[in-house]
Chains A and B, each alone.
Chain A
Amino acid sequence: MSTYAQDATTSDGEPAVPVEATGGADAAAGEALFKANCASCHKLYKKAVGPALYNVSQKYDREWLYSWIKNSQALIESGDAQAIAIYNEYNQTAMNAFPQLSNQDMDNILAYTDTPKQVAAAVVPAAGDAGTSTGGGDSTLNSIVLAALALILILLVALLFVVNNTLKRFAEANGVVTIADEEEVEARRPIWKAFVENQFLVLVSAIFLLLASAYFAYGALMSVGVDQGYAPVQPIHYSHRIHAGTNQIECKYCHSSARESKHSGIPSLNVCMNCHKSIGEVAAETYQEGMDEYGIDYNKEIEKLYAATGWDPDEQKFTGETKPVRWVRIHNLPDLAYFNHAQHVTAGNIECQTCHGPVEEMEIMYQYSPLTMGWCINCHRETNVDLENNGYYEKIHEELSKKRGGKKLTVADLGGLECGKCHY
């Protein structure tokens, strides 16, 4: 190792400082470099596009590693047997050349790749402890307050009881007959009889009952065919909260056909694999959150995706055995109504959230809007059409705004209330 380090310094013509640095290479600097340059294809303990890099510095001669990292293609072309063997083992995937890395940089990276795997079990409980202790602090405070309140209430009840008894005793002593006693003395009339005899009470309660049943019957009838709040269990627990919320992935990244077709599109699984090829498991905190708050093992859900696409994470290859996922459709307009996503998303520039609600906060996707005709019509009446930069309707816009004296045009003005627009 030391002889080699001297070689490196002489060839680079650098002073003797790097010799020391080779011994005490900076793994932290190496980590940053690794994440910026290597991690797109390499993982430390798992095979990825390229081989797992843990302990790679022990496996190969360092000089050879330098030339490989700097320009692997040149090394292969020079006929180096070791290089050609690796190139062929990994399906002739050409590794990018990294001429910008100095030997010092590479030493740092190699120092980082030599760090042994941290036992995950030691990390996770620590995170869990922290979570419960902070969460516990809140809940204990709450329960103390609640207990205090309950105690006061019980004391009040007891106080009233005592006061009542004392007053009663006074009354008895003074010879006053309480109403309760009077009633008990009288032959008791059943309460329903008293009720029936009181015609006013009967009338009022009849009206009340009729109104109440009309209210509930109306509610029941109005919910026919309305699936607002429909949140079925999906075959793969996909969290919009994590993807669209935490990770800020655009809606249209996955639902790309919303831009140009009637359907917003259920993303085909290759879109999932754009990221999940390299993301095989979620971060420890995310995992803990899923288990604690939703009782969902996110890593198992990713495994389901791998099973459906036929991706073998160990071999980093598609096996070709695929099976479609039976997603449950949530938003479904009746066949008698026509709706087009592109018309609203691309031409109308409507935000997805306008109709679908705060999807980026939904752990489980549900139907936010009623999707009734009244709801559609209402929006068509209220929404102003953006006339700027809209070449498609230029002429009609001009004529209409002339006719209306420059007033803003709503969708309804453009015929958005015509029956035939949606029903044909």
Chain B
Amino acid sequence: MNRYVNTFIYATAALLIISCGGNDGTVNEKSSRSVQYFPNMYESVGYETYQEAPEDLFKGGIEAQKPVEGTVNRGWMPYEYEDSNEGYASAKANLKNPLPYTEENLATGAELYNIYCGICHGKNGNGQGHLVKTEKILGVPSYADREISQGSIYHVMYWGINYMGSYASQTSIEERWQIAHHVDKLTKELKGEEPRAFEKVTEVVEVEEVSQDMMDTHDGESHDQENHSSTDGE
């Protein structure tokens, strides 16, 4: 009888070994990091982006901080229209797109639109994005049903409106204007209007110049003089 027991044990062991050979395509998940060899060369001495940091040095104990009050990031320009109904109306009437309507600007705008806006507003702006079709987010209007100008488009991207959040943290000034061009084009298509002719640009327009132009044109109706002077002083 001993022999049967032995046979049984060997058979089971063989089965176990065979069953260990998994398919090689998968990555084995683990919940801890592996050993590091010479951690001094692995771990940064300085604080890395988003790293936890001492509470007494960094507000909230996190490395990522907002710019100090009264300062701005490089390339960032204060936006002068307030987040209010008046600000919206004023932006709609006065704010103009500083970027020329060129093929490149439109292409970049379309690409960014499909990342940030199309998911709700739909690829052609009719308010039928994937999230709307699957009823995750409801009530997204078609651009055809709204009276919008490039100024109001930019304003809404910057501040958000009702349930739409602000996209100021995900896009730059230039990118928002490129998207505004694309939205304008979609609106014209939806309303069946004539498409706008591309502009010819002879010189390259730099972003900073663009922002500066924007500032200059709206100097007169600046709501926020304080902000303004702080950047002028540089």
Q: Which residues of B contact A357 (CB under 8 A)?
A: 27
Docked complex Cα distance between A279 and B131 (Å): 11
Closest residue of chain A to B4 (Cβ to Cβ) is A161
Q: Indicate if the CB atoms of A263 and B119 lie closer than 8 Å.
A: no
Contact A278/B137 with A40-B163, A225-B42, A364-B29 known, Cβ cut-off 8 Å: yes
Task: State how many residues of chain B have any CB contact under 8 Å with chain A.
Answer: 53
| Residue of B34, B52, B85, B116 contacting most chain A CB atoms (<10 Å) | B34
Interface string of B171-182 (1 = CB under 8 A from A): 110000000000
- Closest approach, in angstroms, between the C-beta of A253 and any C-beta of chain B? 6
A residues in contact (CB < 8 Å) with B: 35-42, 48-49, 92-94, 96, 100, 180, 223-233, 246-250, 252-253, 256, 260, 262-263, 266, 268, 270-271, 273-275, 277-279, 283, 323-324, 326-327, 329, 334-336, 357, 364, 366-368
Instruction: Answer yes or no: B30 CB below 8 A from chain A CBs.
Output: yes
Instruction: Answer yes or no: B166 CB below 8 A from chain A CBs.
Output: yes
> Which 8 pairs, one residue from A and one from B, show the smallest C-beta to C-beta distance?
A40-B139, A39-B138, A274-B165, A39-B139, A256-B170, A334-B42, A231-B29, A335-B44
Contact A228/B139 with A250-B114, A277-B163 known, Cβ cut-off 8 Å: no
Closest residue of chain B to A246 (Cβ to Cβ) is B134
Instruction: Answer yes or no: B127 CB below 8 A from chain A CBs.
Output: yes
Q: Indicate if the CB atoms of B49 and A263 lie closer than 8 Å.
A: yes
Q: Which residues of B contact A256 (CB under 8 A)?
A: 116, 169-171
What 12 new A-B contacts, CB under 8 Å, besides A35-B138, A229-B28? A36-B127, A38-B139, A48-B163, A49-B163, A232-B31, A247-B130, A250-B115, A250-B119, A274-B164, A357-B27, A364-B29, A367-B27
Q: Indicate if the CB atoms of A229 and B119 lie closer than 8 Å.
A: no
Q: Which residues of B contact A273 (CB under 8 A)?
A: 165
Q: Indicate if the CB atoms of B29 and A35 lie closer than 8 Å.
A: no
Docked complex Cα distance between A363 and B49 (Å): 25
Q: Indicate if the CB atoms of B170 and A228 lie closer than 8 Å.
A: no
Q: Indicate if the CB atoms of B115 and A227 lie closer than 8 Å.
A: no
Docked complex Cα distance between A9 and B169 (Å): 50
Specify which of B3, B41, B162, B165 is in contact with A41 (CB 8 Å cutoff): B162
Docked complex Cα distance between A263 and B137 (Å): 29
Instruction: Answer yes or no: B226 CB below 8 A from chain A CBs.
Output: no
